[in-house]
Amino acid sequence: MRISELSRRSGVATATIKYYLREGLLPKGEPTSVTQASYDEGHLRRLRLIRALVDVGGLSVATAREVLHVVDEEGLSLHRKLGAATYALGPTITPPIDDPAWKTVREEVDQFLSSLSWQVSPDAPARNLLTHALLSLRHLGYQCDTEHLRAYARAAGAVATTDLKTLAAHTPASESEAVEEAITFTVLYQPVLLALRRLAHEHESALRFADAETTPQKH
Amino acid sequence: MRISELSRRSGVATATIKYYLREGLLPKGEPTSVTQASYDEGHLRRLRLIRALVDVGGLSVATAREVLHVVDEEGLSLHRKLGAATYALGPTITPPIDDPAWKTVREEVDQFLSSLSWQVSPDAPARNLLTHALLSLRHLGYQCDTEHLRAYARAAGAVATTDLKTLAAHTPASESEAVEEAITFTVLYQPVLLALRRLAHEHESALRFADAETTPQKH
């Protein structure tokens, strides 16, 4: 298809597509003349992924390029590719140097993940994300007890299982398509979970605190 | 306590505390002389909340001020206060005008929430957040089926129940303290959930795709 059709089908303006081409996020099309090129379904899919990363995920063009670079890398197994692409997604927390409080909480995080028997690389950046979040809680005077954390882990495990099940049901045409889909799901379902958590909070608050409002006063 | 002790106990630099005082985020202390004031535990707690909102939640000072304004408002019930403060937290999605696709998905969101029997205000901004996320998925060619969404809702419900249970166990001294804690939990446990979801994805990917790597090739 020509760039105009790629624009129409993706809903992305031609100027934006040209920008992604220049920035190396979108691979060049097959040249059909000096000034024109032809694009295929792979380009359309890639364009959708770029939009997911940049518009919904809020990634910079540089970070998106890094993620896409991993998707295109040859010779990595699917699991490694999924891992590397997710790691590149960020956010990345750089651990402070020589902070004993960080070290303590990071060790607790590692022990907690071991207790779940989750198969997670020791280098997974989400270990630092979790450490940072728990340390922030602690700095603010809140201790996250293990029971609370376990409930969160169960919930996270349940959504991850559903995500992978939906992905597996798709039977993508190629491995790089599978990775593209997995990244899209990781990014696009994140706000779904956050929105539902907010809504569930409101519901729980209504259950616990709203009765006083609706029950008429005795007199 | 003096501002220096407030700084020491909160870990927030004196200059930053003075900035929050000027910006009206932190109420003024009790004057003890022309140049000095005395601060209490309420100031310390408020300072922690500001840090949670600004540092971890990534809120602007203006948005943080709006949230704190709701916390301090008189005459609102606890449930209303929790709602208003959470609404002010954002992120806020402004629905597009006259977009039939938006209208369709928003109606689906409303029906879905009704089907869960969640008590959520028709004006809850998270309805728009969820609509936006599902519409993004649809624009990118993915349809979120109800079963997938239900699994997410169950997970969100479970973490919300845990959050409220932990909050209820605290028996805060005052209602505004209860709201402060609830807001802190909403903001600070969000990255906990995101990090655990990433880790759970890696684990699920290992279960499904890593076998091929560790099983030796037949020959």
CB contact under 8 A, A77 and B200: no
Q: What is the nearest CA distance from A163 to chain B, expressed in angstroms?
A: 8
Preceding peptide of B31 cis, ω within 30°: no
Q: So what's the pLDDT on residue A152?
A: 97
DSSP secondary structure string, A113-129?
Answer: HHHHT----TT-HHHHH
Q: Which of A124, A159, A192 sits opposite B133 (nearest CB)?
A: A192
Confidence band for B216, pLDDT divided at 50, 70 and 90: very low
Give the closest of B133, B148, B163 to A166, CB-based. B148
Residue from the list B52, B134, B162 with its beta carbon closest to the beta carbon of A192: B134
B197 interaction partners in chain A (CB closer than 8 Å): 156, 159-160, 190, 193
Q: Which of chain B's residues have a Cβ under 8 Å away from the Cβ of A49?
A: 140
Asked if the Cβ–Cβ distance from A119 to B48 is below 8 Å, we say no
Interchain CB distance below 8 Å, A152 and B164: no
Say how far residue B145 (Cα) sits from the centre of its chain: 26
Please answer yes or no on whether B196 and A145 come within 8 Å at the CB atom: no
Cβ(B14)–Cβ(B4) below 8 Å: yes
Q: Do A149 and B192 touch (CB under 8 A)?
A: yes
Taking phi over 0 as left and psi of -120 to 50 as alpha, with beta for the rest, B90 belongs to left
- Using an 8 Å CB-CB cutoff, list chain A residues near B115: none
Which of B199, B214, B215, B217 to probe the A interface (max A CBs under 10 A)? B199
Given a contact cutoff of 8 angstroms between Cβ atoms, the answer to whether A195 and B86 are in contact is no
Confidence of residue B213 (pLDDT cuts 50, 70, 90): low
Please write the tens of the pLDDT for every residue from A5-64: 999 998 899 999 999 999 989 999 999 998 899 999 889 988 988 988 888 888 889 999
Q: Which residues of B touch A196 (CB under 8 A)?
A: 126, 130, 152-153, 155-157
Name the closest residue on chain B to residue A91, using Cα atoms. Answer: B195
pLDDT tens digits, residue range A130-139? Answer: 999 999 888 8
Predicted confidence band of residue A219 (pLDDT cuts 50, 70, 90): very low
What ipTM is given for this predicted complex?
A: 0.88
Judge whether residue A196 has pLDDT over 60.
Answer: yes
- Token pair of B142 as six digits: 């993915």
- Please give the structure tokens belonging to residue B74: 């008189």
pLDDT at residue A217 in the model: 44
Confidence band (pLDDT; 50, 70, 90) for B35?
A: confident
Cross-chain Cβ contact A141/B48 below 8 Å: yes
- Whether residue B118 and residue A205 make contact (CB cut-off 8 A), yes or no, is no
- Strands (E) across chain B are located at 30-31, 37-38
Query: CB distance A79–B201 less than 8 Å?
Result: no
Indicate yes or no: CB of A201 within 8 angstroms of CB of B151. Answer: no
Question: Is B200's CB within 8 Å of A157's CB?
Answer: yes
Residue A99, pLDDT > 80, answer: yes
Question: Is residue B10 predicted with pLDDT exceeding 50?
Answer: yes
Q: Say if CB B57 and CB B184 are below 8 A apart.
A: no
Q: What is the pLDDT at residue B42?
A: 87
Chain A nearest-CA residue for B151: A159
Looking at residue A70, its pLDDT comes to 86
- Dihedral (CA of B132, B137, B138, B140) sign: positive
Residue of B nearest to A140 (CA): B48
In this prediction, residues B165-181 reach a mean pLDDT of 79
User: Can you give the pLDDT at residue A211?
Assistant: 62
Say what the pTM is: 0.88
Taking 3-state DSSP, the helix, strand and coil percentages for chain A, each rounded to the nearest 5, stand at 70, 0, 30
Backbone angles phi, psi at B47, to 5 degrees: -65, -40
The answer to whether the CB of B133 falls within 8 A of the CB of A188 is yes
Q: Reduce the DSSP state of residue A32 to 3 states and report it.
A: coil
* DSSP β-bridge partners for residue B37: B31
Mean pLDDT in chain B? 88
Contacts A–B by Cβ distance under 8 A = 298
- Decide if B191 and A157 are in contact by the 8 Å CB cutoff: no
pLDDT tens for B57-80 read: 888 899 999 888 888 888 888 888
* Record: contact B156-A196, CB cut-off 8 A: yes
Closest CA to A208 of B164, B180, B76, B179: B164
Helix (H, G, I), strand (E, B) or coil at B107: helix
- Burial label, A66 (beta-carbon count in 10 A; 0-12, 13-18, 19+): middle
Which of B154, B160, B166 lies at the smallest CB-CB distance from A158?
A: B154
DSSP lists the bridge partners of residue A38 as: A30
